[in-house]
Chain A
Amino acid sequence: MKGVQFENLRDAGDPAELARAHSQAGADEIVLLDISATRQGRTTLLATVQRTAKQLFVPFTVGGGVKNLEDAAAVFSAGADKISVNSAALSDPDLITTVAKRFGSQAVVVAIDAKRCRTTSKWQAFTHGGRKETGRDAVEWAREAEERGAGEILLTSMDRDGTGSGFDCELTRMVSDAVRIPVIASGGAGRAEDFIEVFQQGHADAALAASIFHYGLRGMGDLKQTLDNAGIPVRWPC
């Protein structure tokens, strides 16, 4: 079953309302990413998570700024089913194991932002919103994340993100074939056909789209119909 997730953007309106609307429109899972870097932002985030979770009955992942077990626990208590870790996991991979041990691997998503290096043709992992190089090979990091207890990998192509030119299927396939946990493809979705490609060629287990301006709320139905026509099993909400 291929999943389609929607990532909420804060400046697009009230996350709680958007999440509910997307889930009603057919999103299989919802991801809420906190892009604020302030302490004040964290309190707001937890309140938002709580409000959003109250009326959401599909899996709900929250990411952004989770640095330790305490942060993770607060996010779960607020109503998230899974947390996503990125920068904090790369600087302290033990965090993955710690959270997985306490809450279960299925609750830990490791987000990897990857950019292709022109000289080596391999992908490097970046942190801090894609600003900081790590020198880590993205595929190798994904393997390590799995070994340390990650339940899923949320893989964002920095090269494709925001371009609407399609997912990076080569990157997605490299990572998906290297690990045995689900890989969620992210970055570059522009047309329904992009989703077909990332499932078939990219071997993705799920795909994430963030731009509600491309799809609108009715677009989810059309998108799933296109996938269905291409023979990709999709879920229709009742």
Chain B
Amino acid sequence: MIAIVDYGAGNLVSVKKALDWLGHASEITSDPDVISKSHKIVLPGVGHFSSTGVLGRSGAQQAIEERTRNGTPFLGICVGLQWMFEGSEEAPEIAGSGMFQGKCLRFPSTSKLPHVGWNHLTISETSRLFRGIAQSSLVYFTHSYFVPLAESTVACCEYGRSFSAAVEKENLFGVQFHPEKSGDVGLRLLTNFCGL
């Protein structure tokens, strides 16, 4: 059972229907007990980084950390990816989970914001998440804050500057774009994640 974590940040329906379409059982939940029993965890999210604050307060963060320490595959999407880091300029008072080092930054105001639309990926060949996905594939983004290039970056993108489109380390995965909105490319990525 894949747990899709609900923390009030919308976008759950889209992710669930993509997993339904691909034939993978999933459950939308905010209950730490349900998260603790899941085989995989997906943390979606759109909107403001501050909404992630509820994860710490509800016990969901603890459940996620415990499961991921034990090897449970975890996929953060958009704000979900950003939460995997130490925090974001968007809400400096909220701490991220710190799974990865670094903080999220706002794109320079010289670019039209948010970065919304389809954009190309430069993908690392060793990535498991992107197996079978062609170099320069297009995926759908909608965000104003980004994760700078990091050691864990396996796909990058350009919007005024380079930024991390995806990170990967052992059982931890995160994508800035929306695989559930990225047509066949996105569905392939979700299939890869579900197949781990």
Chain A residues in the interface with B (C-beta under 8 A): 1, 3, 23, 28, 53-55, 57-59, 76-77, 79, 81, 103-107, 151-152, 180-182, 205-206, 235, 237-238
B183: interface (CB < 8 Å): yes
B117 to chain A, nearest CB (A): 5
- Identify which of B17, B47, B117, B187 contacts A104 (C-beta below 8 A): B47
**Interface size of B by Cβ–Cβ distance < 8 Å?**
33
Subset of 30 A-B contacts with CB under 8 Å: A1-B119, A3-B117, A53-B14, A54-B17, A54-B20, A54-B21, A55-B21, A57-B18, A57-B187, A79-B13, A79-B17, A81-B181, A103-B10, A103-B46, A104-B10, A104-B48, A105-B114, A106-B114, A106-B142, A151-B116, A151-B142, A152-B116, A180-B113, A181-B112, A205-B117, A206-B117, A235-B118, A235-B138, A237-B183, A238-B185
- Identify which of A53, A57, A104, A206 contacts B182 (C-beta below 8 A): A57
Q: Give 13 A-B pairs besides A1-B120, A182-B116 with Cβ atoms closer than 8 angstroms.
A: A1-B119, A1-B138, A59-B140, A76-B13, A106-B114, A151-B116, A152-B116, A205-B117, A235-B118, A237-B183, A238-B134, A238-B137, A238-B185
- Residues in B neighbouring A55, C-beta threshold 8 A: 21
- Identify which of B18, B117, B181 contacts A1 (C-beta below 8 A): B117
- Residues in A neighbouring B142, C-beta threshold 8 A: 106, 151
A103 to B142, CA, bound (A): 13
Please encode chain B, from 125 to 152, with 1 for each CB lying within 8 Å of some chain A CB and 0 for all others.
0000000001001101011000000000
Question: What is the total of A-B residue contacts with beta carbons within 8 Å?
Answer: 77
